[in-house]
Amino acid sequence: MVKIENIELPDFPLLLAPMEDVSDPPFRAVCKENGADLMYTEFISSEGLIRDAIKSRKKLDIFDYERPIGIQIFGGDEDSLAMASRIVDVTNPDLLDINFGCPVKKVACRGAGAGVLKDIDLMVRLTAACVKATRLPVTVKTRLGWDDQSKNIEEVAERLQDVGIKALSIHGRTRAQMYKGEADWTLIGKVKNNPRIKIPIFGNGDIDSPQKALEYKNRYGVDGIMIGRAAIGYPWIFREIKHFVQTGEVLSGPSVQERVNVCKTHLRKSVEWKGPIVGINEMRRHYSSYLKGLPNIKEFRNRLVVLKTPEEVEAVLDEVLTTYDGVEIEHSPIELINYHEKCPL
């Protein structure tokens, strides 16, 4: 069992990564159903929370069936982060996570997200401010460092543990790398194997198959892993990894029926939570991954992305099911999108 203060997680827990515009309640619902052990919200601006911006407030929506769930905030100012922590506290998630990893310019270059990696003293002060302001366990998600010349994660881990964080998730890239190249887990392993480190260390970056998850578990000894892009349109990754780690067997991929059902659940939750217009629009980015691997699916996909009502979408999804029911989908490798600022996902 892995413990984050009083939160009990199973052995080698699988975490759903916080992802802006992706890790919302509808997406989290399908990941939870498929085995995610701990989930995080999208990152929320501390300034936005304080100004009471609607977009930021809406991201605080969490539901009991999602527990344990963490709310993630970011910011570069101690008072704002403390105040935001108090706002988060009232919404009663299981934990509060601070983002010190976001590489995008509008965040990192304004001294928040990964920008804080350039100044560990500041990072420590910001973290301490949050720890003091909330009764919730505080966790941090960050990267290896700002760039190749300043990979300071080993020091960061020790100092953040000393100011009271209860777990640390590390994405094996620097800020300068953005999403390029391969994630390097060597330093993540070093942090985990540092005898001074007592808190759980979760590794993150490029896990896209059960085999890789087990290999990295064994090689780096992390307490659990956090999965982001591989879960987009493929929430089954969680149960597949679990099964493989527990039994050494590769579970077969989801049937067409299951793909269609989960896509419908995601759609319904999306419409429920966002309303019909935004709910339908924002679902459009997910169809291709849910239906990936089906022969000649392009025609259906093109139809799905222009439909305007949930009933129409469900009707086309039913057609997909009748056309492809029983078809065995070849398990193609999951594509890890190269996320950047203008990427719709």
Ligand X SMILES: Cc1cc2nc3c(=O)[nH]c(=O)nc-3n(C[C@H](O)[C@H](O)[C@H](O)COP(=O)(O)O)c2cc1C
Active-site positions read 102
Distance in angstroms (rounded) separating the CA atoms of residues 305 and 153 = 42
**Which one of residues 4, 14, 15, 19 is an interface residue with ligand X (CB under 6 A)?**
19
Nearest-CA neighbor of 141 among 106, 110, 107? 107
> CB of 179: closest distance to ligand X in angstroms?
7
To ligand X, the closest distance from the beta carbon of 321 in angstroms equals 28
Instruction: Tell me if residue 251 falls in helix, strand or coil.
Output: coil
- Does position 93 interact with ligand X (CB under 6 A)? The reply is no
Residues of this chain, 175-234, that bind ligand X according to CB under 6 A: 204-207, 227-230
Annotate each residue in 110-149 with x if it binds ligand X (CB under 6 A) or - if it does not, as one string.
-------------------------------x--------
Tokens of 178: 């953005």
Closest CA to 238 of 41, 12, 3: 12
Residue 122: helix, strand or coil by DSSP? helix
Contact in structure between 289 and 234 (CB atoms under 8 Å)? yes
In sequence order, the 6+-apart residues with CB closer than 8 A to the CB of 143 are 100, 101, 103, 114, 117, 153, 170, 171, 172, 173, 174, 175
Cβ nearer to ligand X, comparing 99 with 134: 99
Among 22, 82, 96, 112, binds ligand X (CB under 6 A): 22
The residue (of 94 and 206) whose beta carbon lies closer to ligand X is: 206
Q: What is the CA radius of gyration of the chain?
A: 20
Within residues 30-69, the interface with ligand X by CB under 6 A covers 42-43
Q: Is 76 in the site for ligand X (CB under 6 A)?
A: no
Tell me phi and psi for residue 32, to 5 degrees. -60, -45
Contact of 75 with 46, CB cutoff 8 Å: yes
Is the CB of 42 or the CB of 66 nearer to ligand X? 42
CA atoms of 45 and 76, how far apart (whole Å) = 10
Q: How far is the CB of 89 from ligand X (least distance, A)?
A: 20
CB count in 10 Å sphere of residue 10: 13
Q: What is the size of the binding site for ligand X (CB under 6 A)?
A: 24
* Nearest distance, CB of residue 228 and ligand X, angstroms: 3
Q: Is 336 in the site for ligand X (CB under 6 A)?
A: yes
Q: For ligand X, which stretch binds (CB under 6 A), given 1-9, 45-53, 95-103, 236-244? A: 95-103
Rounded CA-CA distance 4/10 in Å is 11
Q: According to CB under 6 A, which one of 32, 151, 171, 192 is a site residue for ligand X?
A: 171
- H-state helical runs in 221-297: 237-247, 256-274, 276-283, 287-290
Q: Give the residue closest to ligand X by C-beta.
A: 228
> Which of 13, 20, 114, 175 forms a contact with ligand X (CB under 6 A)?
20
Closest to ligand X by CB, 225 or 294: 225
Are 42 and 25 in contact by the 8 Å Cβ rule? The answer is no
The binder of ligand X chosen from 34, 46, 72, 152 (CB under 6 A): 72
**Closest CB to ligand X among 228 and 310?**
228
For ligand X, the binding residue among 34, 46, 80, 99 (CB under 6 A) is: 99
DSSP assignment string, 46-85: HHHHHHT-HHHHHTT---GGG-SEEEEEE-S-HHHHHHHH
Which stretch, 17-25, 88-96, 234-242, 305-313, contacts ligand X (CB under 6 A)?
17-25
* Nearest distance in Å: CB 295, ligand X: 27
Which residues contribute to the site for ligand X (CB under 6 A)? 17-20, 22, 42-43, 72, 99, 101-102, 141, 171, 204-207, 227-230, 336, 339, 345
